[in-house]
Structure 1
Amino acid sequence: MKHDRRWGKGITLGVAAVLALTACSGGSQGTAGKPGEGKGGDGGSTNLKIMWWGPDTRHKATLAALDIYSKQKPSIKFTPEYLAWDGYWSKLTTLAASKSMTDVLQMDGAYIQDYASRGTLEDLSDIDLKGIVDPKIIENSKINGKLYGIPLGHNGQGMAFNKTDLEAAGIMLPAKNWTWDDYFEFAKEGRAKLPKGKYPIGDGSNIWDNYQYYQTAKGKGPIMVDGKKFNLNKELWYEYQNRFAQFRKDGTVPPPDVTKAFVDNDPKGDSMASGAVMTKGVTVASVAVMEQLMPGKVGLTTMPTGPSGGGWAQSTLFLSVSSTSKYKKEAKEFIRWFITDKEAGKALGTSRGIPINNEIYKELEPSLQPTDLMSRKLLDTVIEKALPFYPAPTGWSEWVQAYQAEMEAVWFGKKSLDDAYKTIETMGKEIEAKLGGK
C-alpha cells in the first residue's frame, strides 16, 4: 500500500493531527452487550466488540449507527470503545500483543500495513464492493494483493491560501496544478508585495515529508520504498534545502523561532489563520477547520506539482476485522452495511470525511454545511494530479525525529547543511540494513 500526508509545521495540518482531537473513551455504552455473549450465526445473540478513535462528534454519530444496526438486526449487539488518537494506538498495541483485539476496529493508512504484516488483520477481499467503492480505490488500498481494511472516506492533500490578503496585496492567486517553479515564483512575488510580518509561504524544510512532496513530484519516488529501502535523492534534497535557506535569509519565510511558535488550528497561533502566512497545506479531512477559522477568506489549490503529479488523494481511514475474531462473518456483514445503508449514512454524516460511497454522499449533499462542501471542493481540485499516500512506515520513527532535529539545528546555526545530510543519510542506511531493505 502506498502512502503520505503532512506539509510541515506552520504550513501543514496532517490527518493525524485532525484525528488526534481530545475525546472521551468508553467501554460498554450505547448498544453494548456483554463481552463474549452469543453464539454467532446460529440464531443466538452475537456481541461484536468495536473500537475507534476521533472527536466527540464521531463518537456520537457512530453510536447512533450502531443503534440503527441493532434495531435492523436484533441478533447483533455491540460493545463499543472509543478514544482519542494517542490512547487508541497505545491500547491497540497491547490488544494486538495479547491477541485480543476487538472484532471490528478502525484503522489508519499510516499503520494498517504494519498490523497486516503481523497477521492481526483479516483479509476482507471477499466483501462485495462492486458499485459501492471505486475499483481504483480498492486496488490502492490493497497490501500484497489483499484487502485488510474497507475504506470509509475520501481524503487527499492540497493547499489553502488567504485569498483576501493576497488579492489586497495585488498578488496573483495560486492556480490549480501549479508547478514547483510557480510556487517559488509566487513566494518571491509575495515577499516583494506583502507588508513586514506577513509571509507568502511557510518553512516546512524541517519536516521530512514536506521534502518528500518535492521528490515524488519530480518522479524520484518516496523516501522509504516498501517500508524498507532508503531512497533520499541527494541532488534534489540539496536543491530544496538551499532554496529554503535562501528564503530564510531574505525573509520570504518566517524566522525559525516564529515558525516553531505556530500552533495549528489556534485562531491566534495558527500560521495562516493568524494572518502571518498566506498559504498552508491542508487535507480533505482538515480544510473545514481553516474555513471555520477564516470564513469566506480561504481559497484552495493543489500542492505544487512536477512531472509525476503532486500531493496525494487516497482513502486513509478504514474499518478492519481482527484475525482472531470469532465472528468474522458477522463483522464483515456489518462493515459492508456501514458504508451502504442510507439510514446509517445520515447518522454518520461526514464524521469520517466525505463518504466513500458516492450514493451516500449524494443523499447528504443537500443538507451539508459550507465547510463540508469545502472538503469536496478540495478533493475535486486535487484528484487529477494526485499521487499515492506515502507515510513513514514502522521502524522509521527514530529517523523521522532525527530529521527534524537535524534540520532545526541547521535553522539555528548549530549545524551545517552538509553535516545534517550526513547524519540523515547515515541513519537512513542503518535503518534500511536493519529492516532488510538492501
Structure 2
Amino acid sequence: MTKRQWLAKGLTLLMVAVLLLVTACSGGNQEAGTKAEGQNGEAGEKSGDSGSKAVKLSIMWWGPDARHEATMKVLDMYSKQHPGVTFTPEYLAWDGYWSKLPTLAASKSITDVLQMDAAYIKEYVGNGTLEDLSDIDLSGIVDPNVIENLKIDGKLYGIPLSQNAGGIAYNKEELEKHGIPLPHQNWTWDEYFDWAREARKKLPEGKYPIGDVTTWDGYQYYQAAYGKGDIMADGGKTFSLDKELFLKFFNTYAEFRKEKIVPPAEQAAAFQENDPQADPMASGVLMTTGKTTGSVSVMETLMPGKVDVVNSPTGPDGGGWAQSTIFLSVSSNSKHKQEAKDFVRWFITDKEAGQVLRLTRGIPINPDIYAELEASLEPKDKLGKKLYDVSVEKALPFFSSAAGYTEWVDAFEAEMENVVYGKQSVEQAYEKINQLGQDLAAKAASK
C-alpha cells in the first residue's frame, strides 16, 4: 500500500470516528432534554414537528356520558392530526364542574381550555380568568350577528359550539282545530298579547293560549326589545329596571289572570316540564310555551307531529335570543394560548370531528357540519334547528344575571309570586325589586 493510500485510509477512519462521536453526543443530549422536559409537567417534550416542542393541553368540560365519550375520541383525533399535541382531560357533571371551577380560577390553575356557559361567562371575564379570542377567524363558520351578541366589552371570550335559541313552541294541531291563526315569525309584543286575547275567545274552558310570567329573564327580553337594554350591566355595577315598561308588562299579565288568558296560579304551580301528564303543553292545557332548541325536541317526542315553533315576540330593537350558550374558552393564565386557540377553532371546523361529536353539545354552530349530519337527524332535532333559524334574524344578546345578583333573582320571583297571589300590587313589587337592585349595584361599584 502506497503512502498516499495509507493517508487516505487514515483520513476516512478519522471522519468516521468524528461522525460517531457527534451522533453519540447528539443522541445523549436529546434524550436528556426529553426526560427533563417531561419531568417539568409542562408541554416541553420533543414534538413530531421539526424544530417545535410538544404541547400538553389541559381541558375540562361538563356533560353526560355520551358527551364525554365523543370528546375523548375527538381529542385523540386531534393528537393524531397534530403530532406533539396531547391532552390532560377532566370531565364532570354540571354541579361538580361549577363547584370546582371557582377554586381553580381563584388559584389561577384553571385548565388551558375549558367549557364555559352563558350563565357564568361574564363572571369569569370580570375576574380576569378568560383570554380574549377575538383574533380567531370565525368567518363563514359563525353568523356575524351572533359573534357581535357574544362579545363582552367588545371582545370575544368564548368560541360558540352550538346553535341555540329561545323561542316559542306551539300546539299546531290544537290551534288549527279551534280555528285560531297560527303564530307568525317576527310578531311583535303587541301582536302576541292581542293574539292571546283573541285565542282565549275560541278555546274551551280549561285551555289557555299562553302561560304566566314571573321571572326576571321573562321580563328582561321585553325591556331589551324596547331599547332599554340589560337590567344588570357593567358586571352588575349598573342597574336599570325601567318602571314604565315593567308596569305595562306585568299589569298586562295581571289582566290576563283576571280574564283567564293564563292558567290560575295554583294550576301553574303544579306543572312539571317534560312530564307527559303534567307538562303544560303536552297535557293540553297550554297552547304555547317557551322553549330552547334543546328543550323543544322533548316536546316533539311527547307530541310527535303536533308541534311547531316561532321566535319570541319582538320590539323595535328585536326580540328573544339566538346564539350558543355553551363555549370553549381559553385560560388567561395558559402557557400555551396559541395552541389552545388553534384547537378550539379546529373543534368547530373539522368535519371528521363533527361526525363524532354530532349533537352532544347541541346543533353544531358550523353550518357545513350540520349539513352533513342533517339527513341522519330525527324530526325532534330538526325542529330545534328550525327554532334557531326563525329566531336568529331579530335576536338580542343572551342576558345572564350578574355576579352577586343571586339574591335579587330570587327576590324578583318571590315578589312577583306575591303579585300573582294578590298579596301586593305590581307597583309595590317594582319598588322592592328596584331598591334591592340599586343597592346591589352600589355595592358592586364600591369594590
Q: TM-score, normalised by structure 2?
A: 0.84
Contact 1:53 1:88 in 2 (8 A): yes
Report whether the alignment pairs 1:195 with 2:200. Answer: no
Q: Which residue of 1 aligns with 2:255?
A: 246
Post-superposition shift, 1:106? 0.5
Q: Which amino acid aligns with 1:251?
A: K
In angstroms, what is the RMSD of aligned CA positions?
2.3
Q: Which residue of 1 aligns with 2:227?
A: 219
Report whether the alignment pairs 1:113 with 2:118. Answer: no
Q: Which amino acid aligns with 1:216?
A: A
2:398 and 2:165 mapped to 1: Cα distance? 8
Q: How does 1:113-152 map to 2 (within 5 A)?
A: 113-152=122-161
2:126 and 2:177 mapped to 1: Cα distance? 52
After TM superposition, the structure 1 stretch with the greater mean CA deviation from structure 2, 41-50 or 272-281, is 41-50
Contact 2:270 2:278 in 1 (8 A): yes
Distance 1:328 1:308, change over 3 A: closer
Post-superposition shift, 1:407? 0.8
Distance 1:310 1:106, change over 3 A: same
Q: Which residue of 1 aligns with 2:240?
A: 231
Post-superposition shift, 1:301? 0.9
Match of 2:85 among 56, 59, 76: 76
Q: Which residue of 1 aligns with 2:379?
A: 370
Match of 1:61 among 70, 73, 84: 70
Q: Which has the higher contact order (CA 8 A, sep 6+)?
A: 1
Post-superposition shift, 1:41? 7.2
Match of 1:36 among 36, 41, 58: 41
Distance 1:219 1:401, change over 3 A: same
Match of 1:174 among 183, 186, 189: 183
1:213 and 1:367 mapped to 2: Cα distance? 34
Describe the superposition over 1:311-361 as per-residue Cα deviations: whole angstroms up to 9, x where unpaired: 112222210111222332322221121111111011111222222222222
Q: Which secondary structure state, in structure 1, belongs to the residue aligned with residue 95 of structure 2? A: helix
Contact 2:70 2:356 in 1 (8 A): yes
Describe the superposition over 1:165-191 as per-residue Cα deviations: whole angstroms up to 9, x where unpaired: 111122121111112222122222232
Post-superposition shift, 1:104? 0.9
Q: Which residue of 2 aligns with 1:304?
A: 313
2:70 and 2:234 mapped to 1: Cα distance? 35
Q: Which secondary structure state, in structure 1, belongs to the residue aligned with residue 329 of structure 2? A: strand
Q: Which residue of 2 aligns with 1:282?
A: 291
1:257 and 1:40 mapped to 2: Cα distance? 64
Q: Which amino acid aligns with 1:225?
A: A
1:324 and 1:286 mapped to 2: Cα distance? 35
Q: For structure 1, list consecutive stretches of 5 or more residues without a partner in the other structure.
A: 1-32
1:135 and 1:171 mapped to 2: Cα distance? 36
Report whether the alignment pairs 1:430 with 2:435. Answer: no
Match of 2:110 among 93, 101, 106: 101
Distance 1:383 1:34, change over 3 A: farther
Post-superposition shift, 1:84? 2.6
Q: For structure 2, list consecutive stretches of 5 or more residues without a partner in the other structure.
A: 1-37
2:129 and 2:340 mapped to 1: Cα distance? 15
Post-superposition shift, 1:36? 3.4
Report whether the alignment pairs 1:399 with 2:404. Answer: no
Q: Which secondary structure state, in structure 1, belongs to the residue aligned with residue 375 of structure 2? A: helix
Post-superposition shift, 1:40? 5.9
Q: Which residue of 2 aligns with 1:23?
A: none
Post-superposition shift, 1:111? 1.6
Larger Rg: 2
1:165 and 1:369 mapped to 2: Cα distance? 23
Post-superposition shift, 1:139? 3.3
Q: Which amino acid aligns with 2:164?
A: N
Describe the superposition over 1:227-247 as per-residue Cα deviations: whole angstroms up to 9, x where unpaired: 332211111111111111121
Distance 1:35 1:290, change over 3 A: farther
Distance 1:35 1:380, change over 3 A: farther
Q: Which amino acid aligns with 1:436?
A: A
2:127 and 2:40 mapped to 1: Cα distance? 25
Q: Which amino acid aligns with 2:100?
A: K
Post-superposition shift, 1:35? 11
Q: Which amino acid aligns with 1:36?
A: G
Contact 2:233 2:402 in 1 (8 A): no
After TM superposition, the structure 1 stretch with the greater mean CA deviation from structure 2, 45-54 or 166-175, is 45-54
Post-superposition shift, 1:74? 4.4
Match of 2:57 among 33, 42, 48: 48
Describe the superposition over 1:384-413 as per-residue Cα deviations: whole angstroms up to 9, x where unpaired: 222222221212221111000111122223
Q: TM-score, normalised by structure 1?
A: 0.86
1:299 and 1:400 mapped to 2: Cα distance? 31
1:304 and 1:130 mapped to 2: Cα distance? 29
Contact 1:35 1:49 in 2 (8 A): no
Report whether the alignment pairs 1:210 with 2:215. Answer: no
Q: Which amino acid aligns with 1:211?
A: Y
Post-superposition shift, 1:34? 11
Q: Which residue of 1 aligns with 2:13?
A: none
Distance 1:144 1:35, change over 3 A: farther
